[in-house]
Amino acid sequence: MGITTLERLQTLHKRFGPGPFGKIAQKLLALAFRSIGFGHVVERGVQGVDIDAVSSGEKYAFEVKTTEGTTITLDANNLQALRDRGQDGYAPALAILRIALFEDWLMSRPPLEELRPGQFLIDRFRAYRMRSLEEKISPAFELVVGEHFEGTLKGGQQYLIERLRASGVDIREG
């Protein structure tokens, strides 16, 4: 990601804190999926996978993780939600964003049967990258962050919920 996007994400992270920031990044990612032509996008602020994204026969279910470090944590609920969506015909995947210079979204489809709850180095998931999707989503995400930075800074998640609804994203909040 570019330096401007990184600085904006760092500002949002500092303003809202790690937990809310993760939900903000998830909502921005859902907007990016819509912007690259995914016709059906579901964003969940509740239990289950974080984002479903469907386009032209591609059906993905994403668990979204953000970090400033080099690891992410997957708990039993995360893994079960991915397995459940896999049984529904979705390709279970991880969307990982490290908030650091020269990092972009890592979209990965690791074999779920090899994963147990715990902490993982992000690099472990690079072998299962979905490069063509990453090449589309990363520039779209930068544009979405630029477009919605000020509104998000002022209105937080509620601002993004309104933008998601306006763009036709199916929102499932608690």
Question: Which domain range does residue 110 map to?
Answer: 3-168
Q: Is residue 40 part of a domain?
A: yes
Query: What is the spatial distance between Cα 37 and Cα 35, in angstroms, rounded to a whole number?
Result: 6
Q: Is residue 84 part of a domain?
A: yes
Say if strands 58-67 and 91-98 run parallel, antiparallel, or are unpaired.
parallel
Q: Is residue 150 part of a domain?
A: yes
- Give the model's pLDDT for residue 46: 75
Give the CATH number for residue 128.
3.40.1350.10
User: Of 111, 159, 105, 112, which is closest to residue 137 (Cα–Cα)?
Assistant: 105
Q: Is residue 124 part of a domain?
A: yes
Assigned token pair, 55? 């386009």
- Give the model's pLDDT for residue 147: 97
- pLDDT tens for the chain, 174 residues long, are 899 999 999 999 999 998 899 999 999 999 999 999 999 999 997 778 999 999 988 899 999 999 999 999 999 999 999 999 999 999 999 999 999 988 999 999 999 998 999 999 999 999 999 999 999 999 999 999 999 999 999 999 999 999 999 999 988 876
- Give the model's pLDDT for residue 18: 86
Q: Is residue 60 part of a domain?
A: yes
Backbone angles phi, psi at 102, to 5 degrees: 70, 15
Q: Enter the DSSP assignment of 107.
A: E
* Amino acid sitting at position 39: G
**Counted domains in the chain:** 1
Q: Is residue 173 part of a domain?
A: no
- Which pTM was predicted? 0.95
Q: Is residue 117 part of a domain?
A: yes
- Give the model's pLDDT for residue 174: 60
- Give the model's pLDDT for residue 107: 97
Q: Is residue 174 part of a domain?
A: no
Question: Strand, helix or coil at 102?
Answer: coil
Which residue in the block uniquely carries the two structure tokens 């039993």?
Answer: 76
Query: Based on the number of CB atoms within 10 Å of its own CB, is 128 exposed (0-12), middle (13-18) or buried (19 or more)?
Result: middle
